[in-house]
Amino acid sequence: DQQVKQNSPSLSVQEGRISILNCDYTNSMFDYFLWYKKYPAEGPTFLISISSIKDKNEDGRFTVFLNKSAKHLSLHIVPSQPGDSAVYFCAASEGSNYKLTFGKGTLLTVNP
């Protein structure tokens, strides 16, 4: 039973346009959500996070939106750049126990 789902295995966008990566979760106890970026044969790199008390968090070109009632979050990247091409993982945790549950990832390709 997958508690964090990223239903799109891949996404392709044009440079300069917006990339929207989606994530759904089923565990209502999750209250902290993170996005990680991963290149092949490397560990994930933290991008941005959001607590369940917020519905939006912005950091430069990256914005994460959280819709608690729909148990849905999304990562917006604008403008997208070719260097953003990577696999993006959505992750969630309960409280302060640090244990992360990951989605399967979405491969983003930004075309020049």
Partner 1 sequence: GAVVSQHPSRVICKSGTSVKIECRSLDFQATTMFWYRQFPKKSLMLMATSNEGSKATYEQGVEKDKFLINHASLTLSTLTVTSAHPEDSSFYICSATSGMYNEQFFGPGTRLTVL
Site string for partner 1, 51-80 (x = CB under 8 A): ------------------------------
Size of the site for partner 1 (CB under 8 A): 21
Among 19, 23, 25, 44, binds partner 1 (CB under 8 A): 44
Give the binding range for partner 1 (CB under 8 A) out of 14-22, 36-44, 54-62, 63-71: 36-44
Interface with partner 1, residue 24, by CB under 8 A: no
Query: Strands 45-51 and 72-77, how do they pair?
Result: unpaired
Q: How does DSSP assign 11-74, residue by residue?
A: EEEETTS-EEEEEEE--TT--EEEEEEE-TTS--EEEEEEETT-SEEEETTEEEEEETTTTEEE
